[in-house]
């Protein structure tokens, strides 16, 4: 009988500990999900550009910025990059490309081949991608002049006009 009581108490303690751990995990996931959302402060970006210089999102404070996550193997990314480049030239919007997981040499030669002029940042470890909760490419995030997330676009832009409409109210 005493042994049965010990087992029951042990199982109850184990169940309570398991419940506490699950609760903490769910709370953490909820906090992470809420941390990146429209209207919230954009996660910090600190990365090297393709020239090896450190670039920070905060360098663009006071200006809206379009942050485009891409990879050279992503067909949709490749198709929209010239559109984003053209929209940036026409509208004056600041754009930062964030290449996910590729080397500086690969990014440099690829961007040169496409003729894209906007700055490219390297995210070899995927930390920026994770902070912005990017699950598939392309994803473009519009950050307003106060460094808050204004819009999140998942998928490819179809035209320069579509990009210009997106940034028009923030430029």
The answer to whether the beta carbons of residues 148 and 67 sit under 8 Å apart is: no
* pTM for the structure as a whole: 0.79
Beta strands in 22-143 (DSSP E): 46-48, 54-56, 65-70, 94-100, 120-123, 139-143
Q: Is residue 40 part of a domain?
A: no
pLDDT in tens, 85-106: 999 999 889 999 999 999 999 9
- 50 and 30 in a single domain? The answer is no
Total domain count, the chain:
2
In a domain, 41, yes or no: no
CATH classification at residue 151: 3.40.30.10
Q: What is the pLDDT of residues 102-147, one digit of tens each?
A: 999 999 999 999 999 999 999 999 999 999 999 999 999 999 999 9
Same domain assignment for residues 31 and 99 = no
User: Which pLDDT score, from 0 to 100, does residue 4 have?
Assistant: 65
Both 74 and 4 in a single domain?
no
Same domain, residue pair 12 and 63: no
Q: Helices in 103-156 by DSSP H: which ranges?
A: 104-114, 127-131
Distance CA 106, CA 99 (A): 10
Q: Tell me the HSE value of 29 on the side-chain side, using a 13 A CA sphere.
A: 6
* CB burial of residue 21 (10 Å; 0-12, 13-18, 19+): exposed
Q: Which residue has the higher pLDDT, 34 or 94?
A: 94
State which residues form the domain around 26.
1-35
CA–CA distances in Å: residue 6 to residues 12, 15, 17, 19, 28: 10, 14, 16, 20, 33
**Helices and strands per DSSP (H, E), number in the chain:** 5, 7
Looking at the fold, whether 66 and 87 belong to one and the same domain comes out as: yes
């Amino acid at each position: 009988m005493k042994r049965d009581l010990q087992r029951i108490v042990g199982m109850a303690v184990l169940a309570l500990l398991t419940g506490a751990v699950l609760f903490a995990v769910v709370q953490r996931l909820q906090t992470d999900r809420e941390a990146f959302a429209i209207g919230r402060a954009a996660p910090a970006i600190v990365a090297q550009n393709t020239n090896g210089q450190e670039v920070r999102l905060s360098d663009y404070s006071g200006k809206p910025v379009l942050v485009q996550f891409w990879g050279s193997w992503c067909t949709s990314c490749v198709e929209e990059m010239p559109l984003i480049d053209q929209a940036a030239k026409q509208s004056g919007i600041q754009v930062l490309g964030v290449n996910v997981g590729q080397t500086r040499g690969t990014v440099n030669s690829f961007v040169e081949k496409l003729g894209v002029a906007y700055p490219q940042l390297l995210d070899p470890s995927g930390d920026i991608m994770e902070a912005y909760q990017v699950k598939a490419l392309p994803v473009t995030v519009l950050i307003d002049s106060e460094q808050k997330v204004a819009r999140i676009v998942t998928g490819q832009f179809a035209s320069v006009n579509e990009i210009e409409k997106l940034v028009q109210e923030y430029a």
